[in-house]
Amino acid sequence: MTIPQQVQERAAWLRKEIEHHNYRYHVLDDPVVPDSEFDRLLRELLHLETTHPELISPASPTQRVGAQPLEAFDEVLHPVPMLSLSNAFSNDELSEFDRRVRERLDWQSEIEYAAEPKLDGLAISLRYRGGLLVQAATRGDGARGEDVTLNVRTIGSIPLRLLGKGWPEILEVRGEIYMPRSGFDKLNEKARKQGEKEFANPRNAAAGSLRQLDPKITANRPLAMVCYGLGEVRGGSMATTHTRNMAILSEWGLRTSPELRPVIGVQGCQDYYESIAARRQDLGYDIDGVVFKVNGTDQQQMLGFVSRAPRWAVALKFPAEEEMTRLIAIDIQVGRTGVLTPVARLESVKVAGVTVTNATLHNEDEIRRKDIRPGDTVIIRRAGDVIPQVVRVVTERRDASAREFSMPPVCPECGSELIRDDDKTMTRCSGGLFCPAQRKEAVKHYASRRAMDIEGLGDKLVDQLISKSLIRSPADLYRLDIETLANLDRMATKSASNLLQALEQSKNTTLDRFLYALGIREVGDSTARSLAQFFGDLQAVEAADMETLQSVSDVGPIVARQIHTFFRQEHNLEVIAELASAGVHWPAVEAPQSQSQPLAGLTFVLTGTLQRPRTQAKEELQTLGAKVSGSVSKKTHYVVAGTDAGSKLEKAARLGVKVLEEEQLDELLRTGIAP
């Protein structure tokens, strides 16, 4: 039968593409496509060769396991081939595997399987002679691997000498070397600090660490191993089930999976799969599926092998956590606190069972580090419920016209100036009072107790007012009427009337409360008080330059820049003018900071129960120029202790900080003289 030309060409292209990715994955440890893409290519080629057996040749990727070993390591011949596993991607395919097993065994009842997680690492063979580790080799192409004995000897979870007794003279153990997630995170954190390239995932990290030419480098990598099978066994015998053999290996000091279980039939396999999938993110290491093996070793021998995999085992894979797609554009989202976050808009792709169209890009530095550009082909990862992320770019598929990304010059929501945080990781919009993305937070902060203290204006009511477009800034609060408020959810005439009264009362405030209510980043109530006392009126604060602002107590260059930028935004000044027109006012500040204050430069901490409200004592101290802190340190000058004072009083005693009783505080506030 003649094979159509287009089928021959497709098969040839698939072989070439698969061999390329095999080389990138197994030899260079630098894959450019996710496993799911590789699996699709291999399954398509298998389908073509099954449909047209004439296509099959010894050189086809379907007839081999991996790729050529690295020339830097000595070659090792595997006495028993290290084959890979057939994959199943659905319960139907698992049921089909079970059907084939029972037919070949002529077995009428349910099969007992050994079930365990499929670790995502690097396959390894350990060879013990007389109980001593004499050789370790990678899988390589299944027949020949790489001698990595010196590197493997550095891994603490691998015994150099077997424990106990009764082991065969020659014992070959197969398993997976992997890197726990905690170790992977630390390794990448160290790479970031040293300006080195980070690993894409724990599997790449494990493979790259094991195949270092210098064993000292491997020794410093957090590698571990779990055993999952046997190779050559001579001069002794093992048990008749896989689960018992793994228990014996554990008795000899080799690590096996604590999740290994015998299960009965397809239903037992499916139940185990669901159980592991539910706990997948809590295991502490990456897995990409579950392996089911016929438990009886006699039955395994009866079933035998195909060219590249045993007939008695299958890997039921999880939905791919990594997929490849195209990045259409990079959009900018402005969060409720003004942080600008780049978001990848993607061609729709299914990742871990969920359709993904967007992925976080974190910040501008992350985009530049990964060199992500609109139009790129990218790898998307979604683990569990984690927000999808762009892992890396497939630069081989980048169009020559792709241009580097740059952040917008102003806020895309309101046009306000942008400010980079001091650590340079975040960019923020400075239009806090006006920016639509920040409206809810701006209004909620404005109404809070330490700001304008508008009783009855809770979060849910603010949400309603914003969602119904009844207010756009704090100034719009003073334009609300009783009819509008009474028609809102959970509101009535009485509650609406009470809120309007609270709004009217809030118009009579103080300069420091008003400054705090504006929500200027880094300006807390204490800094607001310092600003009010130093400048005396709002116009002076608005007009102050950076140098003058830094003359204020508690105001450094970072805070000064936030204040200076805020008052240079026309939008913010317009809202402030509207608030003044609505009747918001405050009495003149009688004692600006430029005048001498008796407690200036002193830091107080209040603890225990005082006769006066704690907030009142704090305000009275701040009026005299003192700073009131929430914690005791060596820089604390006085601790004011009420009844039931606890750990802060104890720490003051340890540090030698002077403690005042409330009577002494009264005297200090009356005279302004510190004892």
Q: Under CATH, what is the fold of the domain 5-63?
A: Helix Hairpins (1.10.287)
Whether 345 contacts 325, CB under 8 Å: no
Least confident span in 65-74, 272-281, 338-347? 65-74
- Work out the average pLDDT over 193-215: 84
Number of helices (H), then strands (E), in the chain = 24, 22
Pairing of strands 339-351, 377-381: unpaired
DSSP sequence for 248-288: HHHHTT--B-TT-EEEEHHHHHHHHHHHHHHHGGGSSS-EE
Q: What is the pLDDT of residue 64?
A: 58
Most confident of 380-389, 486-495, 609-618: 486-495
Look at residue 31 and give its three-state secondary structure: coil
Identify the band that residue 594 occupies on the pLDDT scale cut at 50, 70 and 90: very low
Least confident span in 103-107, 168-172, 458-462? 458-462
pLDDT above 90 coverage of the chain, percent: 48
Q: What is the pLDDT of residue 593?
A: 45
> How does the average pLDDT of the chain come out, rounded?
88
May I ask the CATH architecture of the domain 322-397?
Beta Barrel (2.40)
Name the β-bridge partners of 170: 129, 234
Size (the chain), residues? 675
Identify the band that residue 28 occupies on the pLDDT scale cut at 50, 70 and 90: low
Q: Which amino acid is at 168?
A: P
Q: Is the pLDDT of residue 2 over 90?
A: no
Q: What is the pLDDT of residue 590?
A: 65
| 131-157 pLDDT, tens digit each | 999 999 999 888 899 999 999 988 888
Q: Is 118 a catalytic residue?
A: yes
Per-residue CA distances from 534 to 553, 580, 596, 623, 630 (Å): 9, 21, 11, 11, 23
Percent helix, strand, coil in the chain, to 5, is 40, 20, 40
Q: Under CATH, what is the fold of the domain 418-581?
A: DNA polymerase; domain 1 (1.10.150)
Q: How far apart are CA 99 and CA 305, in angstroms?
A: 16
Q: How far apart are CA 466 and CA 468, in angstroms?
A: 5
Q: What is the pLDDT of residue 319?
A: 82
pLDDT above 70 coverage of the chain, percent: 95
Nearest to 72 by CA among 275, 211, 175, 246: 211
Q: How far apart are CA 44 and CA 15, in angstroms?
A: 10
Question: Could you say which of 118, 293, 317, 648 is catalytic?
Answer: 118
Name the β-bridge partners of 43: none
Q: Is the pLDDT of residue 661 over 60?
A: yes
Q: Is the pLDDT of residue 27 over 60?
A: no
Structure token digits, residue 625: 């120029």
Q: How far apart are CA 392 and CA 80, in angstroms?
A: 37
Least confident span in 465-474, 509-518, 617-626? 617-626
Whether 526 contacts 627, CB under 8 Å: yes
- Work out the average pLDDT over 383-412: 86
Nearest to 354 by CA among 397, 391, 321: 321
Look at residue 161 and give its three-state secondary structure: strand
| 606-650 pLDDT, tens digit each | 988 888 888 788 878 877 878 888 788 888 899 999 888 878 888
| 208-257 pLDDT, tens digit each | 888 888 888 888 899 999 999 999 999 999 999 999 999 999 999 999 99
| 296-342 pLDDT, tens digit each | 999 999 999 887 789 999 999 988 788 899 999 999 988 877 889 99
CATH of 603-671 given 3.40.50.10090, 1.25.40.10, 3.40.640.10, 3.40.50.10190: 3.40.50.10190
Q: What is the pLDDT of residue 596?
A: 53
Q: What is the pLDDT of residue 344?
A: 94
Helix or strand run (H / E) with residue 178: strand 170-178
Q: What is the pLDDT of residue 216?
A: 85
Q: What is the pLDDT of residue 352?
A: 76
Specify the CATH number of the domain 76-317: 3.30.470.30
Q: How far apart are CA 533 and CA 624, in angstroms?
A: 10
Q: Is the pLDDT of residue 371 over 90?
A: yes
The residues spanned by each domain of the chain are 5-63, 76-317, 322-397, 418-581, 603-671
Q: Is the pLDDT of residue 354 over 90?
A: no
